[in-house]
Amino acid sequence: MHYERYGLELTTTFANFHTDPFSARPQISQGHQYEEVILVVLQGLCYYGISRSRPEGEGNRSRRQRPSTYSFYLRRKSVQVQLRRWQKFQVPRGVINKYPAFAKHFRKNEIDLPNLEEREGHTIIHFLLTGTYDCLAILEDDEAKKKRQALLSSLSVYFFATGRQLDPLAALMMSEITEMGDRFSFPDLIRLLDEDDLWIDSSDHLLADYLKKRAAMEAETVTEQDATNLSADIGSQCTLTNILLETIVSMKLQLQKRSKPKRSQFKEKGRGSLAFIEMSPVSDFGEASAALAGEDASLPTESMYAGDTFGFHCRSGKTFHVPWRIIDKYPALAQACRAGGPAHMYDFLFENEAHVVIHFLFAESYQRIGTSASIHQHRENMMFEGLRVYVFAIEYGIEPLARLAMHEIEKAGEHFALTTLITILADVGLHITLRHHLLADYLAQKAAMLDDDLTETDARTIRCWTEENRNMECILLETIVKMKLDLQRYQKIHGPLPKRRVRRFSTMERGS
């Protein structure tokens, strides 16, 4: 194979791999012949050539032999791997086929990975060809930025490996992540993951286990200044992860100020507040109780439909018609309707939730459609509907409806533990921002568990739950429960603790 730019034959062998992208140039010679050359394009004019010399008896061998374990694969068809900025690798198909689960993801001869840079691409290809770890140098003078970029790069490769079942590479990267992650405080580590939208799930058990070990911060000391800096760094980014992280740091401060009594001195008492608590009468639900009993929810009268109307479509396909004169009361909603129609607005709203929205537009009150569900199911429905209506109201600037929906959420939330609320939030797919400041305030208060009395049974329940749901929120929640138990043990000896301050996002400057 000839390199067109030079018109010469590449004679680079497997030993010519380099970690410096600017020094990695293929050796060029006119005096040797090779059967096969695989080009790996890393960056610009930076190439790694991998060549296979002729078998014995078919010419002179090169003194530098590529390991024989790879000679078989260079006979196979190659696969082109394309990264961001059009960098391309050529990888023997046989190399990819060494990992059957991984190979299933790449049945074609082209692999497009637009989210990976050349640094991550080099690490992946180097592993596929050698089974070892290698990375390119980071050209950054600022040590803090350099450290951050190195960890993010390793995390990107790790998520690539776990997402495509390349388990050996995932394990290799986890050792690198552990070494680099230990140089960060736990809050800084979580902030880095949250800021870059690196979400862990059930396939990321290695990273989840590492974060669980770090979450207790047993080897770390937190100061008031650290807590202040964390709040300032989080600012308006009131995600669920950040809410739980602030709670952990606040609890850590309290635990540091007090000596921990021995666990054996106490007997576990009290009810488990993490489970569904004792049900209160239906009458606690006010207007909802009438709907539950079977009364029909009133709909807008025909006289309200005077003038031109606009059709809102819900998920079931039903259309609700609302006069423009009513829609125009809410500029953001009116603008959205005139810009592109309501189809995208109602993609995630069911008929019951759509009814709540439409009823508010007509009557400026909150009314749910009654069902024949059990009390437990009724409360779950009330929470789901409240959250979806709240999200819609925030999205389209209907703040009075958002406040009414928040009232419904709080009313239903009294009967659910924090764990259940987090599960419901995940099901709704809600990504909390500062626009959701009312919900953020409520969750921050709930996360602090100021009024909950927990037991070891609760902690075991949480551990079982997090084993099945390995995500960031579950890891942080399990840590909060452990710290809460420690604080309760202290209270049994020394009396009540002073209440911790819970930040209110609603007092901050509004943003998106």
pLDDT at 404: 93
pLDDT at 300: 47
pLDDT at 151: 92
Secondary structure class of 42 (helix, strand, coil): strand
Could you write out the DSSP letters of every residue in 213-254? HHHT-TT----HHHHHHHHHHHTT---HHHHHHHHHHHHHHH
> 438: how many CB neighbours lie within 10 A of its CB?
21
d(CA 14, CA 26): 11
Percent over 90 (pLDDT), the chain = 6
pLDDT at 186: 86
Average predicted confidence (pLDDT) for the chain:
67
pLDDT at 495: 66
pLDDT at 70: 29
Those residues with Cβ within 8 angstroms of residue 355's Cβ, 6 or more apart along the chain or in another chain? 297, 320, 367, 368, 369
The mean-pLDDT minimum among 68-82, 104-118, 259-273, 378-392 falls in 259-273
pLDDT at 185: 87
Q: How confident is the model at residue 76 (pLDDT cuts 50, 70, 90)?
A: very low
CB 504 within 8 A of CB 441: yes
CB 406 within 8 A of CB 438: yes
CB 34 within 8 A of CB 90: no
Max avg pLDDT among 191-200, 290-299, 499-508: 191-200
pLDDT at 52: 36
pLDDT at 492: 72
d(CA 251, CA 486): 10
**Six token digits for residue 134:** 């290698």
CATH number of the structural domain 1-137: 3.30.710
Is the pLDDT higher at 43 or at 402? 402
The residue extents of the domains of the chain are 1-137, 282-472
pLDDT at 264: 32
Is the pLDDT higher at 306 or at 102? 102
Secondary structure class of 38 (helix, strand, coil): strand
Residue among 346, 345, 409, 417 at smallest CA distance from 381 = 409
Max avg pLDDT among 54-63, 68-77, 78-87, 154-163: 154-163
pLDDT at 36: 33
For the segment 499-505, the average pLDDT, to the nearest whole number, is 54
pLDDT at 82: 56
**Does the pLDDT value for residue 476 go beyond 60?**
yes
**Does the pLDDT value for residue 328 go beyond 80?**
yes
Max avg pLDDT among 43-57, 107-121, 422-436: 107-121
Q: How confident is the model at residue 335 (pLDDT cuts 50, 70, 90)?
A: confident
**Does the pLDDT value for residue 342 go beyond 70?**
no
Is the pLDDT higher at 1 or at 123? 123
> 142: how many CB neighbours lie within 10 A of its CB?
9
Max avg pLDDT among 108-122, 186-200, 474-488: 186-200
Percent over 70 (pLDDT), the chain = 56
For 223-256, how does the pLDDT look when each residue is reduced to its tens digit (9 = 90+)?
A: 888 888 887 877 666 667 777 777 788 888 877 7
| Residues present in the chain in total | 512
pLDDT at 488: 77
pLDDT at 47: 34
d(CA 381, CA 209): 34
User: The whole model's pTM is what?
Assistant: 0.51
For 153-192, how does the pLDDT look when each residue is reduced to its tens digit (9 = 90+)?
A: 999 999 989 888 899 999 999 999 999 999 898 888 888 8
d(CA 11, CA 255): 64
Is the pLDDT higher at 133 or at 69? 133
pLDDT at 339: 78
Secondary structure class of 41 (helix, strand, coil): strand
For the segment 278-284, the average pLDDT, to the nearest whole number, is 29
For 427-439, how does the pLDDT look when each residue is reduced to its tens digit (9 = 90+)?
A: 666 666 656 777 7
